[in-house]
Amino acid sequence: MAFTRLAAALTSLLCLLYLHVTPTNAISPQLDRRADQVYYHLGCYTGWVNGNRALRGPSFAADNMSVDKCAAFCSKNRYFGLEYGRECYCGDVQIASPTVSATDCSMKCPGNQAERCGAGNTQNLYINLVYSPRKPATLSAPYIGCFVDEGPRTLPDNPTSADDMTAQKCQRNCAGYRYFGVEFARECWCGRNPPNVTAPTSDCSLPCPGDDAQLCGGPNRINVWG
């Protein structure tokens, strides 16, 4: 009986010690996340560099703009930025724009007054931590790269365009041609001679409207197979 009372007393003492040293509101360190997105604020950046947008992907504006709203719109891109109170810009490549003082991004987001949405020519820049990069489609024909398409057409034959363009759709359109490529998201071009002016891979960054996981060139830039 004495042993039982001693064991009970020791158990009670250990419980009191645990409550004393362990805060009741302790939370394990973790990234602030939602089920559908994870992003991180990089700071206040300029929105333009040498006449070019720092983020050159899709964009939109809204009178109820918020960080969450822009993040959702740019969920398929590596970066997103909020500018001039109501503007949202996306991009997979961020042109090296110099950081500026946080006070230069002073406009409140109309959709959430606790947040900041850049200012004139400055943007609050975020990175999407769950970004999965788009890739050129894997087809029966080998992919040969991203090429410049300015002046005379790189692939001049049998052009078509579609709001559901994919690399597979373009390949079918160009049956009988040695080379084919997708450009500016919805264009398809065919040719018998190889392209010869390469472009940086990052220049072919637009998603295919028929398959968001695929790349479909860019402005004056064409993804080519052959």
pLDDT single digits (tens) 99-126 = 889 999 999 999 999 999 999 999 999 9
What is the mean pLDDT of the segment spanning 36-55? 88
Residue 38, SS3?
A: coil
Average pLDDT, the chain: 85
Q: What is the DSSP string of 157-204?
A: EEEEE-TT--HHHHHHHTTT-SEEEEETTTEEEEESS----B--GGG-
Residue owning tokens 């602030």: 32
Nearest-angstrom CA–CA distance, 75 and 103: 27
**Residue corresponding to tokens 């007054």:** 113
> Residues of the chain with pLDDT > 90: what percent?
69
- Is 168 strand, coil or helix? helix
Q: What is the DSSP letter of 24?
A: T
Q: What CA–CA distance (Å, rounded) separates 198 from 213?
A: 23
Confidence of residue 86 (pLDDT cuts 50, 70, 90): very high
Tens of pLDDT, residue by residue over 150-195, are 999 999 999 999 999 999 999 999 999 999 999 999 999 999 999 9
Average pLDDT over residues 59-87: 95
pLDDT at 37: 56
This model's pTM is above 0.85 = no
């994919």: which residue's tokens?
166
Straight-line distance from the first to the last Cα atom of the chain, in angstroms, rounded to the nearest whole number: 88
What are residue 215's DSSP bridge partners?
207
12-21, 83-92, 129-138, 156-165: segment of lowest average pLDDT: 12-21
The CA radius of gyration of the chain, in Å to the nearest whole number, is 26
Spatial distance between the Cα atoms of 166 and 185, rounded to a whole number of angstroms: 9
Does 87 score more than 50 pLDDT? Answer: yes
